[in-house]
Structure 1
Amino acid sequence: MKAHRRNALTRAIHVSLLLALPGLAAAQDAPPTDDATTLDTVQVTGTRIKRAEIEGQVPVQTVTREDIERTGLTSIADVVQTLTGSGSALNTKFNSSGNFGFPPDGSGVGAGSAQVDLRHLGAKRVLVLVDGIRWVNEASASGVGAATDLNTIPLAIVDRIEVLEDGASALYGSDAIAGVVNIITRRNFEGASISAQYGEYGEGDGATSTADIAWGWNGERSNLFLGASYTNQEKVLARDREQSSLPVPGTGLAFGSSGTPTGRFIFTDPNTGATLDVTPNTGDSDPTYDPTQTGCTRTDSYHCFATADRFNFAQYNLLVTPSERMGLFGQFRFDMSDAASWYVKALYNRRESVNQAAPEPIFLGPEAGTGNPLADNIFISGDNPFNPFGFDLDGRLTTPPEDRNLILIGRRPVEGGARVFEQQVDTFYVGTGFEGVFDVGERAWFWDVNFAHSENEAEQTNFGSYDIRNIALALGDPDACAAVAGCTPLNIFGGPGTITPEMLEFIQPVVRDRSENTLTLATANLSGDLFEMWAGPLAFAAGIEHRRYEGMYQPDPLTVAGFYNGVPSLPTSGEYDVTEVFTEFNVPLFANAERGSRLDMSLAGRYSDYSTFGGEFTGKLGLRWQVVDELVLRTTFAEGFRAPSIGELFGSASRFDATLIDPCSEPFLDPSVEGNCRSLGVPAGYQQPNPQISVTTGGNEQLEPERADSFSAGMVWSPSLLEGTAISDRVDVEVTFYRHEIEGAIQAIDAQTQLDLCVETLNPLYCDSIGRAATGGINAFNNRLTNLGVIKTDGWDVDLFWTFPESRLGQFSIDWRNTFVGEYEAIGAAGQRQPQGVGIEVVDSAIPDWTSSFVTEWDLDNWSAAWTIRHISELREDCGGAVTFPVCSDPATSTNVLEATTYHDLQVGYRFDMLRGLELTAGANNLFDEDPPICLSCSLNGYDASTYDIPGGRFFYVRADLRF
């Protein structure tokens, strides 16, 4: 049925376009209309046709510069993420490097970047434009990104942001499945302006300072705009907030790490045959081991490892990552004649950011599950001068199973300090082109030719990680260590402070990774009126576009060689190009000037030829019915697609560390699957030693494009009975229903879902890629990209705009926007239901069923003020079956409820008459000090950093704007 619908729409659009195309040849002979005009011609996001009356055909939300300044935010991404239709996307509140590992799409972790997600369909399904031209994807220094880092675009150069929340692949090509964000830069600017802002949290941390300078000049035939921007965001430590300083908020140390500063040792004593799980007593830096004590009641230096011994990594994490951004932008336009102009624009932007994680743990032995044979198959010599056990600890696969006695060692060398990841990201952009107008008879046709080249280059330097090859050498045969220059036997057996600087010097390198994304494109477009029809002119746009993508990721040679103790990865590189042609028509079907009624149909089609997979046609059909002057009804149906990115196609094998609950582990074991666990080789009484499971990921050159259908229908109502009355100057109500359906979505099955289905069903589809050690623990997990089943979502946008009459109390206005998500369902190719859903929080992302933004603005003489109320409805998350943690508010269903959250923001400003153009503004976001709810499934700090205000607490700021 789905294929039939797609083919029917494609055929219909093909036929409609063919019927309209002959008008191109007849256009010169068509008689012009007397009222042809070009003075108020515009082009808006959502159409390529330049006509004044084309506006309003599709739902476009415009964020003006005044709207941006009202938020007190200093990043484009932060502004867009406050929109009610936005979903979970990466931002600087994610302390990602060293913890997230490598996602399956090969894009890297995007440390320090900020993205935009629309309709909860993912940042890679949103197309970002700058002045209507595609912007380069991010380089994360850990992969080849498939989404745009909005921190590469200085906020100071933005005039407005237009957000199209509708499928638009027929107009703009790949990636525009969920919508388009078009950033319009400042252009006709006269004079100079200086803006400075400083803000910090009520706790006195997280200071953010910005300084922007803009200068513009308009001559008789040319204009010039120059802008410079500086932003410095300081860090907020997790330990400086009560909730996030707790050991894994909401669970205590149950999910803490078994890689501890004192060390955890699980082994079988070859002398007694006893299997022990012990850790040295606190403060005992030179432990002694008594092999005769085989239980947990001991008098030597050890005790049995328990939950209280786990490590609280939260105290090292960041809630807000430091980020320093500097940008320069210039734009020059020259009118070569009254009908043609030339432009050139250039941008340079640098971001320097930092992520920090707890000291890197060293996991050794078969249960380590790192995927690195140097760690998993470790041999620790009994002759190591610091080995207190007096015998070899052997986990080598080459050793007969009956002689392998090492199961797991977890030691966290706090002596080496926290892991610190420093990013330096440079963005270069240059664009030039010609644009103009020519007459066909008395009709104006508009044309433009453009060329743009942009690069995003990133370098990441990692301090605090380890060389597992040197660790193995320093723990092995002392004679072999002595034969290597610099090798010092390693003491992982004592407590904190027993790893000396000499030991660290041999095992702790500096790791450097880099990546790059490049986009080169050329476009040519033509738009105008073809001929007069019975209800008005037939308008059209057509164009051709060629793009070339190049991307690479080069990890440190240590990582490539397989010696990096952290997350392993291999280099990635690839390139492809695409050539596209498109056409769009606006067909007037009916017009009645007396009633103000008009019915228009829009048709668009685009053919894309990719060097990687071939051709793809997408179409779009829309209707706009101006019923009367005050009521517009509109609907669109669009086909969409997203081509696989470089990372998705060519991403090499790498790894991410997922926090997973093994259903075969006590105390999570459900009796109904106990037999299956035994079939999988998990012994009775097995307890998962480490919740972090290493999952191998990678690209897939056989991937097909994602294909989508998008539908929207709605109305815009401006009731005349409320216009110019005592209670309102104007009222506008917008209601839009949307639905998106994606087939063949490129992603990997959720790792926890795959593990659960394996245990429940024993189906090889899920189990073949999961390996277990002889001890029962997971030691291999392959989670590669594929074209999964279907993602479906629908919902409603309901918006109200009310401007009150001006009075002696000033003028008030209301801007109330709401998004209600009706359905969200993601189903894998084999029918497996993914965990995401409406009202559910999972894996650092949420889909609230209702998000709302209510803004009240007031102006009186030189005073202005704004009160913003942001609301996020209740969410729920699974607490993990049989175990109930304190955070789980509904023990009967093992569910944690994240209560509905409402934020209040206040801003007050004053314009000075005695100083031309000076305005002072003061504001407070989260005025009533609302804390984000604790999230059990969220990584690291126990908060969803893309849904709630992190780190919580009031944020105060002041800003001064001077124009002269």
Structure 2
Amino acid sequence: MSLGRQCQVSVLVQASSAASYALPKQQLNTNDGDIEPILRQLLQDLPFTYELLGPSAVAVVPRKPEPEEQGALSQGHTEEISVTGRMLTGSHLRHPQLDSYAPIDILAQPELEITGAQTVSELLKFLPAVSGNSTSTSVTNGGDGTATVTLRGLPASNTLVLINGRRIVNNGFGGEAADLNTIPLSAVDRIEILKDGASAVYGSDAIAGVVNIILRRDFEGLSVNSYYGEAQRGDQQTGSHHLTWGKNGERGHLMLSLAHYRQDALMSRDREISATADNRSRGGTDNRSSASPSSYIALSDDIVLTANADGSYRPWTQEDRYDYSEYTTALVPSERQSAYLEGNLDLGDNSQLFIELMGIRTSAETTLAPTPVFTRFDNGDLTISADNIYNPFGQEITDVRKRVLELGPRVQNNDTETWRLNLGLTGMLNSWQWELTAAQHYTHASESLSSLIDPLALSLGLKGPDICNSESDCIPINLLGPSGSIDAEQLDYIRAESLVDGITRMTSLTYIANGTLGTSGAGDILAAFGMEIRREAIDFRSNDAMGLSYIGGVTAGSAQGHRIISETFGEISLPLVADRFWLDGALRYSNYSDFGSTANPKVALRFRALPSLMLRASYATGFKAPTLIDMNQSGYQSQEYLFDPCTGRDAITLPGCRGQADGARIQYLTEYGGNPDLQPETSDNRSLGIVWTPAKLKGFSATLDLFEIRQNDVIDTSPQYLIDQNASYALFSDRVQRDEQGEIITILATRLNIGAREVRGADLAMRYEHNSDMLGQLRWSFNASHIQRYLNQAAPGEATEDLVGTFVDAASGGAGSLPKWKANTGIYWKKGPWEGGYTVHFVSALEESFTLDNTRITREIDSWTTHDLQVAYALPGGLRIAVGIDNLFDREPPFAATAFNDNFDGRTYDLSGRYWYTTLAYSL
């Protein structure tokens, strides 16, 4: 395998065919890392030939003189890339053929290098199968410094993320999904994305699919890489540096990879689309806040005043709304350091000891506008007494909305420390390969949010001298003056900082064995079995003010809990007709200490109808266990951006309304809670596909796969759903609490198994590779994902909505962007020292709905197409320089009137504009 390591190519060899042949150690030269001349030299006197399987994989196969058989052999080329002795994502079997019963996207090392991506989340964001509410540093208000991936538009907790085929610990802020920011891209060899349910193979969470991140192994030598990029407008400076060293010895191998990454901020005010929250000129709504620096003071239903700079008052108007975009970060600055150690030691007797140790520190700093105060709707008794020393009106005032600029911007700091240790033994026994792995994973995440307001201190400060006086150490607070009227003494009295601290742990012991169970008349019967015991734990706490959220922030509450999971699993691949027809099956039994047990099967058929045509179909059940947060969280409060139908002119006709509520409100106090009686979400997954590899068009392959996911018992906490039902049908009055005027005071949104989903669509992939002495290596690829329908039912008995082709922001409890089509295509070229790539990304148009002037509006969010260009040159002596341009034609993201963050969906599109970067690498 040293040949593959030197040329950075995976070499697939069928051990049973090549076991009796040995080649002496020899020195062979290659021009520019081209592996083909060497292969021809090595195999010229042997009964073998080779097949190119892609840009970074080659198969050494027996030489067969018959043309028909030769053509049939070449048809093994599908979209999967494998390395000797490793299983494909989605199975523990070592298939002798490269065919898979499920579609898999592969991002291999050469493709990773040419993209210029510096993080795993950046690399996955534009994949066609990824849509919905993933998180990243592009999510400001509501982000926590983590990055997740969402396949098929389902929540991130429905996509399982693996490293080297093994489960990893979830993030420390909530334990709902793995944090991609804790996986350094510099240590990644390839990424395999399985676009099919895989609970029968991997257990919980693999409903939408699996992202398997394969780390670099067996690297020998020294590699140093530096990257610098900057947006054309002079911001978002990004730099990364990594060093990888590896050494092979007589009995083992050791590799160390170190990396540092830093991304600077992009501010909302520095892009036209995000510079203001007032979108009336674009046909949207005015999303500026009614909490203005000069105060919104409601003396009665008809009299609302605001303060002038000289302390006098005038009527408040809509033009007094506050534009918070001046302060906010649209792209969060972040920094990461990582170290990855990998090694193995040959113990003899066909066994080997291995270790994988990774440590990562991440940090992110989000800037938000200064804290707003809504005395009528925030936590605590915030009524301003008639005798408050700053109250000139001589009456009690309950509704004041003020942006406290004097506190300065809120700054949210997120820090994460993650450690992963995998230690194990692997070996061969006859035809069986086995592996025993012990794992210890730990993540500690902390979050601080400064320049908040303590509701208890503010409550006292708004009262009269009989309550707020020197004896009570109380400082009177002035919310009724112009901006600047709150002095330093008052600020020190009410200033607060929220702190959140979360730890997640995972300890596991896993045994897996796979090999040949026997032989039938049609071929070898492949089998795998294994067992796993795992302990998961979470300890999540916040410093809320006696159960009340600090004003301007959220109360994350707390959650403490653990569970023990015991699982057994098995797989089999049974050939029914030699080299033509296979039956594959898998079954996994899982027992959870907190909710019980579940068994999930999978069955698949593969049929090679013609040498160039393979059909595949599968059916599986899946499940997603409720997270420890789902079951144990308490005290989580937030001011959510929601819409109350009782603010409309027709409120008087709605059974749940007591009159027309305040239309200026856009945020409502929401309290979330866990539920220890939750049961797993369940699913049925079906797929039907075709793989075409025509012999007359060598190097071309095409796949078309239809998929359907039906999901039940979905765990939901939708406060918007509760409000809608309460207003329209007078339901959930115990959960949507209103005052005598009909204004919402609090929404209680406890998690329940109430939802159902159905997602149906298709994946299309085409690839063509051509090699010639004149042109070099040319590769073209096309990858598209189509969602035909996305049916969502919020609760049993409720209407089912088809969300396909729509956008509903996550801040409003929506599923995000669900485009009907998402695709990319690209052409990649390599000849001698030169290498280049050109990629086009496409997202189809969407629809969104909102209320404007009491009229329901539906508008189109434009489609979006961007172009990326990269060129690289390999210099003598191991140097390589690359330059690239992302978003070549400087396309801004399409405007979305209902997008809370910066007037576009940062989870789907990119705000940077034209972006330049360069990479300098040295390999020895």
Q: TM-score, normalised by structure 2?
A: 0.88
The match for 2:80 is none
Rounded to whole Å, the distance in 2 between the matches of 1:933 and 1:944 is 8
Superposition deviation, residue 674 in structure 1: 3.1
Secondary structure of the 2:750 match is coil
**1:360 paired residue number:** 371
| Residue of structure 1 equivalent to 2:105 | 61
The equivalent of 1:940 in structure 2 is 901
**CA separation in 2, counterparts of 1:611 and 1:528?**
32
**Corresponding position: 1:921 with 2:882:** yes
> Residue 855 of structure 1 aligns with which residue?
826
Contact 1:407 1:775 in 2 (8 A): no
Q: Deviations over 1:252-289 (max 9, x none)?
A: 77322111101111134xxxxx85222123x23x33xx
CA contact (8 A) 1:553 1:572 kept: yes
Spell out the pairing of 1:115-134 with structure 2 (5 A cutoff).
115-134=148-167
Report what 1:337 is aligned to. Answer: 348
Letter in 2 for 1:548: R
How far does the alpha carbon of each residue in 1:628-654 deviate from its partner, in whole angstroms, 9 at most, with x for none? Answer: 332221111111011100011111132
**In structure 1, C-alpha distance between the alignment counterparts of 2:101 and 2:200, rounded to whole Å:** 15
Would you say the 8 A contact 2:646–2:657 is kept in 1? no
Report whether the alignment pairs 1:446 with 2:429. no
Which of 772, 779, 802 does residue 745 from structure 2 map onto?
779
Paired residues for 1:481-880 under 5 Å: 481-484=468-471, 487-556=474-543, 558=545, 560=547, 566-591=553-578, 597-665=579-647, 668-670=648-650, 674-676=652-654, 680-683=657-660, 686-723=661-698, 730-749=699-718, 751-762=719-730, 764=731, 766-833=732-799, 837-844=803-810, 845-880=816-851
User: Whole-Å Cα distance in 2 between the matches of residues 82 and 691 of structure 1?
Assistant: 31
CA offset at residue 559 of structure 1?
A: 5.8
Q: 2:422 pairs with 418, 431, 442, which one?
A: 431
Amino acid at match of 1:86: V
Q: Supply the distance in 2 between the matched residues of 1:95 and 1:955 (Cα, whole angstroms).
A: 19
Give the secondary-structure state (helix, strand or coil) at the position aligned to 2:782. Answer: strand
CA contact (8 A) 2:574 2:582 kept: yes
Bigger strand share: 2
Ranges in structure 1 where 5+ consecutive residues have no aligned partner = 1-32, 101-108, 269-273, 288-300, 394-405, 592-596, 724-729, 885-892
Are the equivalent residues in 2 in contact too, given 1:753–1:834 (CA < 8 A)?
no
Q: Which moved more, 1:650-659 or 1:803-812?
A: 803-812
Identity rate, percent: 30
CA distance in 1, matches of 2:255, 2:365: 32
The question of whether the paired residues in 2 share the 8 Å contact of 1:529 and 1:538 is answered with yes
Q: Distance in 1 between matches of 2:845 and 2:552?
A: 40
> Does 1:384 pair with 2:392?
no
Cα distance, 1:574–1:456 mapped onto 2, change above 3 Å: same
For the 8 Å contact 1:911–1:918, the answer to whether it is kept is yes
CA spacing shift, 1:484–1:731, aligned 2, 3 Å:
farther
The match for 1:159 is: 189
Residues 279-294 of structure 1 aligned to structure 2 (within 5 Å): 279-281=306-308, 283-284=309-310, 286-287=311-312
Aligned residues: 841
Q: Tell me the distance in 2 between the aligned counterparts of 1:385 and 1:252.
A: 41
Distance 1:335 1:606 in 2: 32
Aligned to 1:139: 172
Counterpart of 1:942, as a letter, is: N
Distance change >3 Å, CA 522–CA 319, structure 1 → 2: same
Structure 1 distance, partners of 2:549, 2:697, is 70
Return the offset for 1:189. Answer: 0.5
Give the distance between the partners of 2:582 and 2:831, measured in 1 at CA.
Answer: 42
User: Structure 1: which amino acid aligns with 2:690?
Assistant: M
In the TM superposition, what is the alpha-carbon distance from 1:381 to its structure 2 partner? 2.9
The one-letter code of the counterpart of 2:860 is V
Matched, 1:183 2:216: no
| Distance (Å, rounded) in 1 between the aligned partners of 2:237 and 2:549 | 40
The one-letter code matched in structure 1 to 2:884 is G
Determine which of 124, 127, 130 is the counterpart of 1:80: 124
Cα distance in 2 for residues equivalent to 1:381 and 1:46: 65
**Counterpart for residue 261 of structure 2:** 231
1:193 is aligned to 223
Do residues 901 (structure 1) and 864 (structure 2) align? yes
Distance 1:834 1:361 in 2: 37
- Higher mean displacement: 631-640 or 321-330: 631-640
After TM superposition, the structure 1 stretch with the greater mean CA deviation from structure 2, 55-64 or 847-856, is: 55-64
1:415/1:496 contact within 8 Å kept: yes
**Equivalent residue runs for 1:182-261 within 5 Å:** 182-249=212-279, 250=282, 254-261=286-293
Counterparts in 2 of 1:426 and 1:484: CA distance versus 1, 3 Å: farther
Q: Distance in 1 between matches of 2:464 and 2:802?
A: 50
Deviation at 1:706, TM superposition (A): 0.7
Distance 1:410 1:641, change over 3 A: same
Distance 1:820 1:880 in 2: 29
Separation in 2, partners of 1:834, 1:259: 37
Q: Secondary structure at the match of 2:247?
A: strand
Q: Distance in 1 between matches of 2:103 and 2:358?
A: 30
Instruction: Give the aligned residue type for 2:782.
Output: W
Aligned to 2:81: none
- Cα drift, residue 676 of structure 1: 2.2
Q: Distance in 1 between matches of 2:257 and 2:552?
A: 44
Deviates more, 1:556-565 or 1:500-509: 556-565
Point out which structure has higher relative CO (alpha carbons under 8 A, 6+ apart).
Answer: 1
Q: Secondary structure at 1:575's aligned position in 2?
A: strand
1:47 matches 2:91:
yes
Question: Distance in 1 between the 2:874 and 2:702 partners?
Answer: 32
Residues 547 and 817 of structure 1, relative CA distance in 2, 3 Å threshold: same
Q: What amino acid does structure 2 have at the position aligned with 1:514? A: D
Deviations 1:384-403 (A, max 9, x none): 32212133x2xxxxxxxxxx
CA contact (8 A) 1:381 1:475 kept: yes
- Quickly say closer, same or farther: Cα 1:826–1:38, change in 2 above 3 A: farther
Q: 1:276 aligns with which of 290, 303, 307?
A: 303
| 1:709 to 1:869, Cα distance in 2 relative to 1, 3 A | same
Determine if contact 2:849/2:857 at 8 Å carries over to the other structure: yes
Distance 1:743 1:88, change over 3 A: same
Offset of residue 77 of structure 1: 1.3
Structure 1: how far apart are the matches of 2:752 and 2:866? Answer: 39
- 1:302 alignment partner in structure 2: 314
Deviations 1:38-86 (A, max 9, x none): 9954311111112332642321111112222222221111111221101
Q: Give the Cα separation in 2 of the matches to 1:791 and 1:805.
A: 46
* Residue identity in the other structure for 1:206: Q
SS of aligned partner of 1:465: strand
In structure 2, the partner of 1:402 is: none
| 2:48 counterpart residue number | none
Cα shift at 1:93 = 3.9
Give the residue type in structure 2 aligned to 1:302.
R
Once the two structures are TM-superposed, the CA of residue 486 in structure 1 deviates from its matched residue by 5.3
Are 1:461 and 2:448 counterparts? Answer: yes
- Check whether the contact 1:869–1:904 (CA below 8 A) recurs between aligned residues: yes
Match of 2:409 among 395, 401, 418: 418
Tell me how far 1:572 sits from its aligned partner: 1.3
Greater Cα offset, 421-430 or 382-391 = 382-391
Structure 2 residue ranges without an equivalent (≥5)? 1-14, 22-83, 811-815
RMSD of aligned Cα (Å): 2.1
User: Partner letter of residue 879 of structure 1?
Assistant: F
Cα shift at 1:712: 1.0
Distance in 1 of aligned mates of 2:550 and 2:186:
44
Distance in 1 separating the partners of 2:792 and 2:19: 49
Mapped to 2, the partners of 1:566 and 1:80 lie a distance apart of 30
